Structure 1
Amino acid sequence: MRFDVDDPWLAAAAWSRLAEPGDVVAGSLVAHLGAAGALAWLVEAAADPVATLRAPVLDGLDVPPSASPSASAAPSRAATGEPRHRNAALRLLDAVGRWVPRLDSLDPRRELRVLERLGGALLVPGDPDWPGQLDALGAAAPFALWVRGRADVADWARGSVAVVGARAATAYGERVAEDLAAGLADQGFTVVSGGAYGIDAAAHRGALAAGGRSAAVLAGGVDRYYPQGNDGLLRRLVEHDGAVVAEVPPGSAPFRQRFLARNRVIAALTSSTVVVEAARRSGALSTARRAVELLRPVGAVPGPVTSMASTGCHGLLRDGVAVCITSAADAVELAGPVGSSVQGPEETALVDPVDALGPDERLLLDALPVRQSATVDSLVRSAGLPARRVVTLLGALERCGLARRDGARWRRAPS
């Protein structure tokens, strides 16, 4: 066996190879047993899956319902033990079939040696440099981060903004992305994107041109910068105080599902997301949707109404899930508390957040109860705003200290 089931650090690295990014069944198992305990359980399950499913490991295991197994993987009631374990057993048995084939070639030490040769670092949950905002992804959070460049991810991610968009960008979109990224970098923000062609590359270039920091979250391993045409650009990120980050180990190839999964990390890692250009089915829209789900503010840059490259941005604006971004000052304001701007700290401290609220924010603030919390549906009715708009604004009001979350309910924060 080329891996250690007793070392939590190595086990976390192992799970980043065994499970695909965003695998909530694996995430639930690791959260329940710890990375090492979950790996030891999988080794036993490889020998006798049905017998292992009878074990007490299922007690208290909470697998999100979105992780539904295939019907062909369903064992009998007798095989899965008590009825209350049945749903978890079905999902686990299906997942074991995905993970076990990778056990034979599992060798996290080899992958760590590759990372060491590249001058990189491995971060796992609990490390001082681990960005805690990724925990908002719950069972879909990464098991580890493989990093080249600035490994203090927790530090630079606290002041980061995602600037994302289409690969097939127009000259207009690339120019706007560069200008926004340069303005954000001038204000001390780390510009985060996906390292792809088009808007991503323009955002990275803009931050570098301003002498700022930028980071790329890749869909493949950090040992091979992808796409190859951006190799030089990604190297410059690392060389100029930035970073290249992946949740899969060296040697992992990028493919469509990993690109989509990577977007959730960009959304969770950053304080806000700005979509510069996006067609109707652009992958950048998935980053925006995940940011909305995480109650992070989203902005969208408008384009010509005749441009197919901007239809996704216009849809975000029409649906009320994004605010209109036309300058770097708008992007800076989006990333900070409601009413913040590019003013100096002394001027900003004098601004009352309530005075800077827009009409929709004021409606929602007035709808928030002071003593008892209310559901989102109730706030939608009270404020007369679309549900998506309410969810977006609640996150903004929470960040500036005007709203407080009580589980799935909300109330006005005490003054």
Structure 2
Amino acid sequence: MTVSEEEREGPAAPEREPEDARLARAALTRVAEPGDELVGRWLAEYGPRSVVEALRADRPLPGVSSDRWAGLRARTRRAAPGRDLELAARVGGRFVCPGDREWPRQLDDLGHGRPIGLWVRGPCSLRFVALRSVAMVGARACTDYGAHVAAELAGALAERGWTVVSGGAYGIDGAAHRGALAVGGATVGVLACGVDRAYPAGHRELLERVAAGGLLVAELPPGDHPTRGRFLQRNRVIAALTRGTVVVEAARRSGSLVTARRAGGLGRQLMAVPGPVTSGLSAGTHQLIRDGAVLVGSAGEVTELAGHMGELAPDEAFPAVPRDLLAPQAGQVLDALPAGGAAGLAAVAEGACTSPEAALARLHELSCLGFVERVGDRWQLCRGPSRHAEGGIPRTHHRD
């Protein structure tokens, strides 16, 4: 069950960190790689200012090798948090720290691997848009089916007031962002690079649209570039930030499955969209379903799982065939007629297990509805055009 933001925060949110501690955190985003749990433990034990001071003074902290300490110190020497904050501000960005009103407390579920801080670009409050959010991920080289489903689901979720969170990549990510934007909804792109960089370059315009109406979020400072490891660590933020993750289309070896596993491990709702069994790009989603992910195919089904208690998917109205609209007795009489040829009243009554008088009454009703016709003293299924073809119940040609 997803814990609400109010329940998560308790009676009061933590206090905002002093400005020098915020500068230290900003500096550490350029020093440590995303998800570095050793640095996370240092932050929890010593605080950001003491960690930065130890790096600058060459006072090694517990648990680090000499080689790694040397690497961290080299990065510390080139860290310039004031410059990074200025670069972020130039593109409408800001730095959000744990304890800020905008900090989404659900990220604390990552423990020592939670972000040191987040670089955020866009007009929305990250905390507020994440309160009611769903991650949508999948294959980069997706099929037309996958792109269509992602866009339709994202648009329908956005119309229901949900924020769609994805990674800004080609394929399912891009389709999800576009689907939300198409209906004027909020969407968040979690990047594996700085918020001032367009990656992939072909999504420059899309990412600008996301930043204009939603948010771009990154752990890395302005100007930093993506790597394979940073993509994988980015996925943990997508999983933790949202109330549930929907995998739309994924092969058996797909980065989106990393997000799925993270979401499941964090106790978030894990959902998957089925696809053709002949498609290798559906093999990953099918495996997730076999392993316990919930099969979903509509926004209503997603919100029923990820939303608050009582947000139920609407009952599906299945199309009725004419035979379904008949009273049971009339259906029994109709079933008693042969598929080919005609039958007498006595045979129909016997087949329907009723009296001849009751059978005759039902036959008259069926005749008025265009199901049967009389041929002399016998009855048969209607062969000609139904006399109710224009607005009544259409005729049936044979029995099931």
TM over 0.5: yes
Deviation at 1:233, TM superposition (A): 0.7
| 1:341 maps to 2:312 | yes
Three-state SS of the structure 2 residue aligned to 1:91 is: coil
Match of 1:178 in 2: 151
Deviation at 1:91, TM superposition (A): 3.4
Deviation at 1:161, TM superposition (A): 0.5
* Aligned partner of 1:315 among 265, 284, 287: 287
Q: What is the identity, as a one-letter code, of the residue corresponding to 2:29?
A: S
Deviation at 1:92, TM superposition (A): 5.7
Equivalences for residues 289-300 of structure 1 within 5 A = 289-300=261-272
Q: What is the identity, as a one-letter code, of the residue corresponding to 2:195?
A: V
Q: What is the identity, as a one-letter code, of the residue corresponding to 1:214?
A: T
Tell me the distance in 2 between the aligned counterparts of 1:331 and 1:100.
46
| 1:301 maps to 2:273 | yes
Three-state SS of the structure 2 residue aligned to 1:298 is: strand
Equivalences for residues 4-403 of structure 1 within 5 A = 7-45=20-58, 49=60, 89-91=62-64, 93=66, 95-240=68-213, 242-320=214-292, 322-337=293-308, 340-341=311-312
Asked whether the 8 Å contact 1:299–1:323 carries over to 2, the reply is: yes
Three-state SS of the structure 2 residue aligned to 1:284 is: helix
Asked whether the 8 Å contact 1:275–1:284 carries over to 2, the reply is: yes
Q: What is the identity, as a one-letter code, of the residue corresponding to 1:215?
A: V
Deviation at 1:120, TM superposition (A): 1.1
Tell me the distance in 1 between the aligned counterparts of 2:103 and 2:298.
31
Deviation at 1:281, TM superposition (A): 1.0
Asked whether the 8 Å contact 1:129–1:151 carries over to 2, the reply is: no
Asked whether the 8 Å contact 2:155–2:182 carries over to 1, the reply is: yes
Tell me the distance in 2 between the aligned counterparts of 1:333 and 1:106.
46
Asked whether the 8 Å contact 1:120–1:148 carries over to 2, the reply is: yes
Deviation at 1:44, TM superposition (A): 2.3
Tell me the distance in 1 between the aligned counterparts of 2:65 and 2:190.
29
With normalisation by structure 1, the TM-score equals 0.69
What whole-Å deviation, never above 9, does each CA across 1:31-89 have from its counterpart, x for those lacking one?
Answer: 111111111122223xx54xxx5xxxxxxxxxxxxxxxxxxxxxxxxxxxxxxxxxxx4
Deviation at 1:97, TM superposition (A): 3.2
Deviation at 1:329, TM superposition (A): 1.1
Aligned length: 297
Deviation at 1:6, TM superposition (A): 8.2
What whole-Å deviation, never above 9, does each CA across 1:312-341 have from its counterpart, x for those lacking one?
Answer: 101111111x10011111111121146632
RMSD: 1.6
Tell me the distance in 1 between the aligned counterparts of 2:163 and 2:311.
18
Q: What is the identity, as a one-letter code, of the residue corresponding to 2:133?
A: S
1:90–1:238 Cα change, 3 Å = closer
Identity value in percent? 53
Provide runs of 4+ in structure 1 moved above 6 Å: none
Deviation at 1:103, TM superposition (A): 1.8
Asked whether the 8 Å contact 2:121–2:215 carries over to 1, the reply is: yes
Tell me the distance in 2 between the aligned counterparts of 1:336 and 1:156.
14
Asked whether the 8 Å contact 2:38–2:63 carries over to 1, the reply is: no
Tell me the distance in 2 between the aligned counterparts of 1:233 and 1:265.
21
Tell me the distance in 1 between the aligned counterparts of 2:182 and 2:151.
9
Tell me the distance in 2 between the aligned counterparts of 1:304 and 1:226.
30
Asked whether the 8 Å contact 1:25–1:95 carries over to 2, the reply is: no
Q: What is the identity, as a one-letter code, of the residue corresponding to 1:24?
A: E
Deviation at 1:105, TM superposition (A): 1.1
Asked whether the 8 Å contact 1:133–1:268 carries over to 2, the reply is: yes
Deviation at 1:215, TM superposition (A): 0.8
Tell me the distance in 2 between the aligned counterparts of 1:14 and 1:342.
46
Tell me the distance in 2 between the aligned counterparts of 1:296 and 1:150.
27
Q: What is the identity, as a one-letter code, of the residue corresponding to 2:202?
A: G
Asked whether the 8 Å contact 1:164–1:193 carries over to 2, the reply is: yes
Three-state SS of the structure 2 residue aligned to 1:122 is: strand
